[in-house]
Amino acid sequence: MLAQAEAAHRTAMAQAEAAHRTALEVAEKTHRGALEVLRRQNQAETERRRREERHARYMGIQNALSEMREAVFAEPYDPQAVREAGSHVHRAEHALAMHASRRVSSLARGVTYVALRIIWPRSARSTISAAHAPRYWAEEVAPLRRELDEAVRDELEAEAEAEKHPPDTS
């Protein structure tokens, strides 16, 4: 009887150890799965915040360019208002550069450079007068701004499409 009891005890202990190992394996898999879910959620949240920041920067430069355009076309022409608006464009372009693609950043830099020639000429001979500023804006700045708009629209559409079809990271 003692031998049978010892054998039953050994069998019960082996079964308990096997069940314990299985439980640990299941717990580890569950834990890894939960960590993976958290990692993916964190990654998605980070991407969402980046998209929102890029969008805010896109809107920032567009709003600054609109403000400068309004100042350029205002009657009467106020050079101080144009300079202030130009400063906003300059700051918005730099803020965008940290968040945008190379293409959008390059286009923003180009439109900013051309727009700021109204207030920061390279030399006294290249000063754009108040009388010529609206025409200069229409002929030089507006086409570059449309190109920037298209590039931003393309990027936002590409982001939206990528969001619909996220890459499989498993």
pLDDT at residue 126 in the model: 58
pLDDT at residue 119 in the model: 82
Tens digit of each residue's pLDDT, the chain (170 residues): 999 999 999 999 999 999 999 999 999 999 999 999 999 999 989 988 988 999 999 999 999 999 999 999 998 888 899 899 999 999 999 999 988 999 999 999 999 999 988 887 654 455 677 888 899 999 999 999 999 999 999 998 888 888 777 666 55
Whether the Cβ atoms of residue 111 and residue 97 lie closer than 8 Å to each other: no
pLDDT at residue 122 in the model: 55
Which parts of the chain fold into alpha helices (H)? 2-73, 79-97, 102-116, 133-136, 142-164
Residue 161, CA atoms < 13 Å, CB-side half-sphere: 6
pLDDT at residue 7 in the model: 95
- Coil vs helix vs strand at 34: helix
pLDDT at residue 161 in the model: 84
Report the C-alpha gap between 15 and 24 in whole angstroms: 14
Decide: pTM greater than 0.75.
no
Report the C-alpha gap between 170 and 154 in whole angstroms: 28
pLDDT at residue 125 in the model: 53
Query: Which residue bears the tokens 């693609």?
Result: 101
- Sign of the Cα pseudo-torsion (22, 28, 32, 33, in order): positive
pLDDT at residue 23 in the model: 97
